[in-house]
Amino acid sequence: MKIYHLSFVLLYICLNNNSVLSYKSKSKKDQCKLCSDLIDNFIKGFKKTSKGNFGGGNTDWEDRKLGSYVTSDIRFEEIIENSCSNKENDCHHLLEDHEDDLLEWFKTKQNRIENDLYSHICIENKKICCPKETYGVDCKSCPKFRGLKCSGNGECDGDGTREGTGKCICNKGYTGDDCFSCSNGFYEDSKNETHLICMECHRSCQTCIGPDQDTCLSCKSGWQFNSETSSCDDVNECLEENKCQKSEFCVNNEGSYKCQKCDVACQECTGLGAHKCIGDCNNGYEKVEDKCVDINECERNSSICSTGECVNKPGSYECKKKSKNKNKNNQVKIESSDHMLVYKRTFIIGITLLCAIKIEPLNDTLPSSSNGDISTQNVSDEQANKENDLDHDEL
């Protein structure tokens, strides 16, 4: 079983290294969110345990003999145990990095506002976050228009993180460097010197001056302007020739269309189902009362399979033969020990390549065996043969 032990050791190293690299490779924005979530969970645990005690019943004696529960190690451990979920490896790595900082705040600075903890760890110490409405490496102020960030209609790129450009990312319906114009498909519902409200046009309008279909100034693709009604009407693309391939049929939608596959029995069709076939049926099917149905080749020709059993399938058939992997008693053959040895060694190589780690020398990372240290270098032919024999015996 040595080869399996080696596999599990390599897999453990792989998972542990990858979890660390996963955290380090995250963007500053993702790291900032991770830090923010950690602090939020820590504060929730802090509040949840605010009225707790040691659980002995005599709180006066506990305070005199054990010290205050408010700043006790027992309470701190209870808080941090619930600050990360079991699956959040990145969170656990961040918690390990800053457990001392959290403990210092817990012991000496509990009376300070909660924002101080976030600011101390995520902004000042870890330097992966910025204060709100600032961005970038140096935490520059986000641009304001009319006294509001992005005129109140968007977000500053990188807001609160050490990344971003500071440019406005406008909300849906707004556009411009300052997010103070309505984008295509929206109209100005109200506007003054400091505020703008944009509302969505009718679905047929590219541009409009109101919410209704007759307020369109131009039509979207898939619609055409009707001068009589002063509105945009749907274009039925399916009336045009060759909109879809031969084995498809056209389905019109408002403002668009889609091509849908014909039934497997049809070469061409006008809709879904074998009764919608037009012209010839596909191979393996035949017309019966204007419907393409499957031909049962096995019933039609009993000698169609020279060996084995004939199995009918939609549009075809199969001559099923007996499996070569079964013996006379219909039992599945077991792979030889040589094959199993190859599989196990291939498994180890696969793990090594997946982790992209060096496993030489193994003495640095693997526990010693009962006969001494494991080594991958200068293994004699005699020792290799013994290990092969051992693997065969175990199988």
Domain layout of the chain by residue ranges: 22-129, 140-200, 205-235, 236-294, 296-344
Q: Cα–Cα distance between 142 and 140 in angstroms, integer? A: 6
Find tokens 């000496």 and name the residue: 108
Pick the CATH number of 140-200 from 2.10.25, 3.10.110, 1.10.260, 3.20.20: 2.10.25
Burial, 66: exposed, middle or buried (Cβ in 10 Å; 0-12, 13-18, 19+)?
A: middle
Tally the residues of the chain. Answer: 395
Provide the H-helix boundaries in the chain: 2-24, 28-48, 59-65, 73-81, 89-108, 114-118, 297-300, 337-355, 381-394
For residue 69, the 8-state DSSP code is: G
CA distances from 19 to 24, 92, 134 (A): 9, 10, 30
Parallel, antiparallel, or unpaired for β 231-234 and 223-226?
antiparallel
Going residue by residue through the chain (395 aa), what tens digit of pLDDT does each one get? 444 444 444 444 444 444 444 555 677 788 899 889 998 999 888 888 877 665 544 555 455 545 577 788 888 888 888 888 765 678 888 888 888 888 888 888 766 666 688 888 899 888 889 999 999 999 999 989 988 999 999 999 999 999 999 999 999 999 999 999 999 999 999 999 999 999 999 999 999 999 999 999 999 999 999 988 889 999 999 999 889 999 999 999 999 999 999 999 999 999 999 999 999 999 999 999 999 999 999 999 988 998 889 999 999 999 988 666 555 554 444 444 444 444 445 555 555 555 544 444 444 444 444 444 434 344 444 444 444 444 444 43
* Residue 358 amino acid letter: K
Read off the pTM.
Answer: 0.56
